[in-house]
Amino acid sequence: MAQLMLGNAAVALGLRDAGCRLVSSYPGTPSTEITENAVKYDSVYCEWAPNEKVAVETAAGASLAGARAFAAQKHVGLNVAADPLYTMSYIGVNGGLVIAVADDPGMHSSQNEQDSRHHAEGSKIMMLEPSNSQECYDFTKLAFSLSEEFDTPVLLRLTTRVAHSTSLVESVNDGSVELREYVKNPQKNVMMPAMAKVRHVFVEERIKKQIAWAENCPVNKIEWNSKKIGVIAAGITYQYAKEALGAQASYLKLGCVYPLPVELIKTFVASCDEVYVLEQLDPVIERHCKALGLSVIGKEKFTLCGEYSQSMIKKVILGEENTSLSADIAVPGRPPVLCAGCPHRGLFNALKEIDTNIFVSGDIGCYTLGSLAPIGMMDTCICMGASVSSLHGRNKVRPEGASRSVAILGDSTFIHSGITGLINIAYNQTNSKVIVLDNSITGMTGHQQNPTTGKRINGDPTAAVDLEALAHACGISRVLVVDPYDIPATKAALLEELDVEAPSLIISRRPCALLKGVKHNPPFEVDAEKCVGCKVCMKIGCPAISIKDNKSQIDFTQCVGCGMCKPYCHVDAIKEGV
Amino acid sequence: MTKSIMIVGVGGQGTLLASRLLGNALLSEGYDVKISEVHGMSQRGGSVVTYVKYGESVDSPIIEEGEADIILSFEQLEAARWLPFLSVNGKMIVNTQCIDPMPVITGAATYPSGIIDSLVAAGANVVAVDALSLALEAGNPKAVNVALIGVMAKQTEIPYDVWINTITLTVPEKFLQLNLAAFDLGYNL
């Protein structure tokens, strides 16, 4: 019987039903739920790796040992794993190796909008792209058999609207797959120049075979309707096109987006009056068509930025627009905010109390929200771990500013790629101050365990990284731990530490307020008699505090009794709840 | 014919349970169903939206301006934000609760007054509901989402018994009576 499944959950079910034995991933929206769902299946060993490079290498090791293996990450995570990716293309596989990458057109929860199809082309690794949950399931299983058939890793590309949409899935469990025999084979598995030169020739031959497959495979399909309009599409844009154009167009739906077929596309284009290539982000399929000398319409009529949609397609191709209502209301935006009781708020406000102009080298996580009003305490945010390494670069060229600049990153991000930056600070000597916001969890992606939490993905207890000892081992002798709920004490400690002419690691330690098992105090209250409406408590930027009738008030449904606002009140109007 | 329902609100309000109940009820009625939601950053107190589409065969999982047959809004300002998505013949169910967004909290913007009247003046078919009172009447403020589902259920083709079955199968045993009571209060409004 069909079940309603999230695209990511359907990938996970596909892993089980393809006999995948090992999954190693690093969380990242919109890919996280693949691994979170796979862990429910006993036959699939799952883990959170410290970063994507480790995850893909772990899966590569399992594949070479003869098991079907898998790793998932978001688009930017595949950049971190690009090193093993490009060379595993040469080595190929023993057990099937499938690597999922989830792109985020529209940047719902990402720092850039990169198109990961370029990684398929660059690494010369076959890439499948599903358009709904059923295809997420089917393509995952197909990817394993293609991986073994062509001796290649296979990339599975998802986009946000496929990964995070729910639709019907019919499944068949094919049962377990035996470990393949491991045979020592340095010519294939040891990539140094003499061997790699031979393997590169193999890779080029492999692509020719895959193109021949792509010409006549079950996932590249033509649907003939009216031949006045032809549409070439893959993934979610196929669904948008179908909804916009229905039987008014014929479709060439590409399930394999690398390598692309040649004859199939030529035949389709030759049969239609005009052909649109509908693809979000970069014109990958369009360039392929144009290189074949085919006349197609693509980015001259559609955007390179953001998402496509059914109404956009309908408007451009058919010239039709929806009618809609509009009201005379000025609607304020509702940007995401740090939650009530978020410990990051305490640390940011302590810094702000010292000097609103402190340079904050930011990073990827919930705390990136500290860049928004009213906190506004972030100068840069590039990628995972860059807060630490880029602060070192800044302090090399502006050493006089080192006492008023910090790097801020979370516990999971620090493990991911902050440690190497910290080693560089110790090794190449800047007085850089690195603040780890240790909230005992990976927060933004929805609470995943990591190597600092002492728990594995399934909750089992395990070794925990000792951040203090790690800093000492890296050559950082000054390590300080603060409690961000105590803003005055945190401010005093930071003030002292910033002026020390040595590198420091400052650990701001307090669990995420949303974490299960964290005990909360009763909500605080405002004594309306005492409140003078000065709004000083608003500076802290807590979503639970607002002003009504010129008096401050605390929303009891949001307040978790953290008490960070209390010291801000000069008239002692904020009191503990009972 | 595909029908489109949007569930909108503020991250953390319980819109996800509402879309799960709706999806399961539609599935048991034999429809093709697609539900789309965005996880990640926006869930931290931002504006959140879930698209639910059903019919014989659904293609795109998202809903765009002028396409929603029903918009169920958990909060007034969010109703105003998503009004353009309502089909001109559609219906909007609005919980009268107000939650200040950060630009209002910081004083950079003001929370508009008279939202419901403005929505009606714009030509929207609006059902305004004080769902918090319904939830309190049912016994717990957290049942707001199921009370709202009750109001919306009345506007769909799905029979009452199917809703009751779906809630019974989806909600944990210890909260079942509370949620059934809240659903009924919304349904019989």
Whether A331 is covered by a domain: the verdict is: no
Domain harbouring A554, CATH code = 3.30.70.20
Check if the beta carbon of residue A95 is closer than 8 Å to that of residue A180. Answer: yes
pLDDT of residue A440: 92
Mutate: best of B41, B43, B69, partner A, most A CBs <10 A:
B41
Question: Do residues A149 and A238 share a domain?
Answer: no
Contact B40 A444 (CB under 8 A): yes
State which of A318, A334, A355 marks the end of a domain: A318
Question: Do residues A167 and A183 share a domain?
Answer: yes
Whether A352 is covered by a domain: the verdict is: yes
Whether A558 is covered by a domain: the verdict is: yes
pLDDT of residue A558: 87
Is A468 in a helix, a strand, or coil? helix
Res B38 pLDDT > 80:
no
Say how far apart CA A432 and CA A389 lie, in whole Å: 10
CA A146 and chain centroid, separation:
26
Which residues face A47 on adjacent strands? A24
Contact A4 B84 (CB under 8 A): no
User: Residue A89: which of A212, A203, A192, A180 has the closest Cα?
Assistant: A203
What is the count of structural domains for chain A?
Answer: 4
Question: Do residues A190 and A246 share a domain?
Answer: no
How much of chain B is helix, strand and coil, in % rounded to 5?
45, 25, 30
Residues belonging to chain A: 578
Whether A135 is covered by a domain: the verdict is: yes
Radius of gyration of chain A (CA): 27
pLDDT tier, B37 (very low <50, low <70, confident <90, very high otherwise): confident
Q: What is the pLDDT along chain A (578 residues), one digit of tens a residue?
A: 789 999 999 999 999 999 999 999 999 999 999 999 999 999 999 999 999 999 999 999 999 999 999 999 999 999 999 999 999 999 999 999 999 999 999 999 999 999 999 999 999 999 999 999 999 999 999 999 999 999 999 999 999 999 999 999 999 998 889 999 999 999 999 999 999 999 999 999 999 999 999 999 999 999 999 999 999 999 999 999 999 999 999 999 999 999 999 999 999 999 999 999 999 999 999 999 999 999 999 999 999 999 999 999 999 999 999 999 999 999 999 988 999 999 999 999 999 999 999 999 999 999 999 999 899 999 999 999 999 999 999 999 999 999 999 999 999 999 999 999 999 999 999 999 999 999 999 988 989 999 999 999 999 999 999 999 999 999 999 999 999 999 999 999 999 999 999 999 999 999 999 998 999 999 999 999 999 999 999 999 999 999 888 999 999 888 999 999 999 999 999 999 98
The 3-class SS string of A302-314 reads CCCCCCCCHHHHH
pLDDT of residue B42: 60
**Least CB-CB distance to B103: which of A165, A326, A332?**
A332
Whether A336 is covered by a domain: the verdict is: no
Domain harbouring A419, CATH code = 3.40.50.970
State which of A318, A353, A370 marks the end of a domain: A318
* Neighbour count for residue A45 (Cβ, 10 Å): 18
Q: What pLDDT, in 10s, does the model give residues A110-162? A: 999 999 999 999 999 999 999 999 999 999 999 999 999 999 999 999 999 99
Whether A328 is covered by a domain: the verdict is: no
**Least CB-CB distance to A310: which of B38, B60, B124?**
B60
Backbone angles phi, psi at A357, to 5 degrees: -95, 10
pLDDT of residue A118: 98
* Contact residues, chain B, for A375 at CB < 8 Å: none
Question: Do residues A64 and A103 share a domain?
Answer: yes
Residue-range definition of the domain harbouring residue A480: 343-509
Domain harbouring A255, CATH code = 3.40.50.920
Res B105 pLDDT > 90:
no
Nearest chain B Cα distance for residue A14, angstroms? 19
User: Residue A48: which of A365, A457, A363, A366 has the closest Cα?
Assistant: A457
Angle at A359 between CA A358 and CA A365, to 5 degrees: 110
Say how far apart CA A71 and CA A554 lie, in whole Å: 44
Mutate: best of B17, B38, B49, partner A, most A CBs <10 A:
B38
* Cis amide prior to A374 (ω within 30 degrees): yes
Q: What pLDDT, in 10s, does the model give residues A241-253? A: 999 999 999 999 9
* Contact residues, chain B, for A248 at CB < 8 Å: none
Question: Do residues A234 and A207 share a domain?
Answer: no
Segment (H or E) for A278: strand A274-278
State which of A189, A215, A241 marks the end of a domain: A215
Whether the pTM exceeds 0.80: the reply is yes
Question: Do residues A69 and A157 share a domain?
Answer: yes
Question: Do residues A75 and A121 share a domain?
Answer: yes
Cβ burial of A290 (10 Å; 0-12, 13-18, 19+) is middle
Question: Do residues A12 and A153 share a domain?
Answer: yes
pLDDT tier, B43 (very low <50, low <70, confident <90, very high otherwise): low
Nearest chain B Cα distance for residue A546, angstroms? 6
Check if the beta carbon of residue A136 is closer than 8 Å to that of residue A158. Answer: yes
Question: Do residues A22 and A171 share a domain?
Answer: yes
Nearest chain A Cα distance for residue B51, angstroms? 9
pLDDT of residue B142: 86
Question: Do residues A152 and A167 share a domain?
Answer: yes
Whether A445 is covered by a domain: the verdict is: yes
Taken in order of first residue, the domains within chain B and their CATH numbers are 3-187 (3.40.920.10)
The 3-class SS string of B40-76 reads CHHHCCCEEEEEEEEECCCCCCCCCCCCEEEEEECCH
pLDDT of residue A212: 98
Which string of DSSP letters, residue by residue, matches A280-345?
A: SSS-HHHHHHHHTT---B-TTTS-SSS---HHHHIIIII---------S---------PPTT-HHH
* Contact residues, chain A, for B81 at CB < 8 Å: 331, 334
Question: Do residues A36 and A154 share a domain?
Answer: yes
* Contact residues, chain A, for B65 at CB < 8 Å: 311, 322, 324
Say how far apart CA A52 and CA A309 lie, in whole Å: 31
Whether A333 is covered by a domain: the verdict is: no
- A447 φψ region: left (φ > 0), alpha (ψ -120 to 50), beta (else): left
User: Residue A409: which of A425, A426, A421 has the closest Cα?
Assistant: A421
Say how far apart CA A418 and CA A385 lie, in whole Å: 4
Lookup result for tokens 């918090």: B132
Backbone angles phi, psi at B80, to 5 degrees: -65, -40
Contact B36 A166 (CB under 8 A): yes
The CB-side HSE value for B138 (13 A sphere, CA atoms) comes to: 30
pLDDT of residue B16: 84
Question: Do residues A14 and A161 share a domain?
Answer: yes
Q: Which residues contact A491 (CB under 8 A, 6 or more apart)?
A: A350, A351, A353, A354
**Least CB-CB distance to A325: which of B42, B43, B83?**
B83
Give all strands of the β-sheet with B3-10 in edge-to-edge order: A3-6, A165-169, B32-37, B47-55, B3-10, B68-73, B86-95, B125-129
Nearest chain B Cα distance for residue A389, angstroms? 25
Q: What is the ipTM of this complex?
A: 0.94
